[in-house]
Amino acid sequence: MAQRLGIERCRVATLGAKDANQWLMDGATDADFCAAIADAKAQDPEEMVQFADFMAQVEAKLYPTGHSPRLPLLRIGHRDHEWFEFRGGEYSVWTGINGHGKSLALSQVLLGLADQGGRCMVFSGEMPAATQLLRMTKQAAGLAKPSPAYLDAIADWVRDKFWVFNRLGSAALDDLLRIFEYASRRYGVRQFVIDSLMMTDVPEDGNGAITKQKQAVQKIADFVKRTDSHLHLVAHPRKQPDESKNVGKMDVAGSSKITDAADNVWSIWSARKPDDEAPDDKPDALFELQKQRNGEVQHKKL
């Protein structure tokens, strides 16, 4: 009947029995029926919500309390950068010239996330798991060769914080996301890494490559929203004429949708200075935020 009258013209009342007659027989009064009609609700689509319903969340962001859940911050070493939060339902692109340390920087960021209670899972088709752990261990300890006792302590610390997709070579994106989703549901993992897109079955070039790359980022965006997680995607830039300056989000190779659909874009660059060069005021490296869709800071250099 509502469909024929027009769903937007109708409201649905909730009665105290299976139907009006049964409710009347059970002793409902005129006042009960009037109250039910007054409380009747319009059948708004599920996606149609008033902005005012989110004001409590806005207040929690502006005036956090000790009981308010805090999103993990960008933490490098012991320093928190409060202008950036790793929100669930988003994915970040990490780019930079080959050899300039984008995977190394991302590893440092993951340690900061784990230090805030986050759980992480990493896929790197180019680097064996033991090599990844060796690099992360050195970063965590701040030492080139931690003692055996220190290694044991680090192993205990990372045990319930880090998982690895243990496969060298290419992996199918659908397989990655399927196992990532299991890790999210079973172990509460919320930070995922694909290092890099070229190590999946998504083609870099050739006929139909751009379309497949667009479909791939759509799958990634759907995954993070479905699991309320954050995915870090390493994407290589196009070949540059030289390595003298940082690359931008427009330099990422492949489909523009890789960075268009991303919520955040980071770029890593390190200066190529000779060992005997005299010290100067020029930066040795840049850790640059080039896009943040949902944050107040849109661009930042460290």
What does the pLDDT look like over 8-56, one tens digit per residue?
999 999 999 999 999 999 999 999 999 999 999 998 888 898 899 989 8
For 205, other C-beta atoms within 10 Å of its C-beta total 9
pLDDT of 66 reads 66
Number of structural domains in the chain: 2
Phi-psi region of 155 (alpha: psi -120 to 50; beta: other; left: phi over 0): alpha
Same domain membership, residue 269 and residue 175: yes
List the Cα angle 21/23/27 in 5-degree steps: 115
Same domain membership, residue 148 and residue 40: no
Same domain membership, residue 24 and residue 95: no
Same domain membership, residue 15 and residue 155: no
Range of the domain at 235: 72-301
In a domain, 267, yes or no: yes
Same domain membership, residue 112 and residue 223: yes
| Residue 225 · residue 89 · CB < 8 Å | yes
Is this structure's pTM higher than 0.85? no
Residue with tokens 């105290």: 16
Greatest CA separation found in the chain?
A: 96
In a domain, 240, yes or no: yes
Tell me what the pLDDT averaged over the chain comes to.
92
Q: Rounded CA gap, 271 and 253, in Å?
A: 22
Residue 183: which residues within 8 A CB-CB, separation 6 or more?
Answer: 121, 163, 189, 192
In a domain, 55, yes or no: no
User: Over the stretch 149-167, which tens digit does the pLDDT of each residue have?
Assistant: 999 999 999 999 999 999 9
Same domain membership, residue 162 and residue 37: no
| Residue 168 · residue 125 · CB < 8 Å | yes
Same domain membership, residue 230 and residue 133: yes
Residues 121-136 as b/e (b if ≥16 CB within 10 A, e otherwise) read bbbbbebeeeebbeeb
In a domain, 8, yes or no: yes
Domain with residue 112: its CATH number is 3.40.50.300
In a domain, 64, yes or no: no
Same domain membership, residue 282 and residue 203: yes
pLDDT at 61 over 90: no
Phi, psi of 25 (to 5 degrees): -65, -30
pLDDT of 132 reads 94
In a domain, 208, yes or no: yes
Same domain membership, residue 34 and residue 89: no
In a domain, 204, yes or no: yes
Percent of all residues in the chain with a pLDDT value above 90, rounded to a whole number? 78
Same domain membership, residue 43 and residue 90: no
pLDDT at 90 over 80: yes
In a domain, 60, yes or no: no
Higher pLDDT, residue 178 or 64: 178
Same domain membership, residue 228 and residue 82: yes
Q: Tell me the C-alpha to C-alpha distance, in Å, between residue 206 and each of 82, 114, 201.
A: 42, 39, 13
pLDDT at 280 over 90: no
pLDDT of 68 reads 63
Same domain membership, residue 134 and residue 40: no
Asked which of 11, 32, 48 is the last residue of a domain, the reply is 48
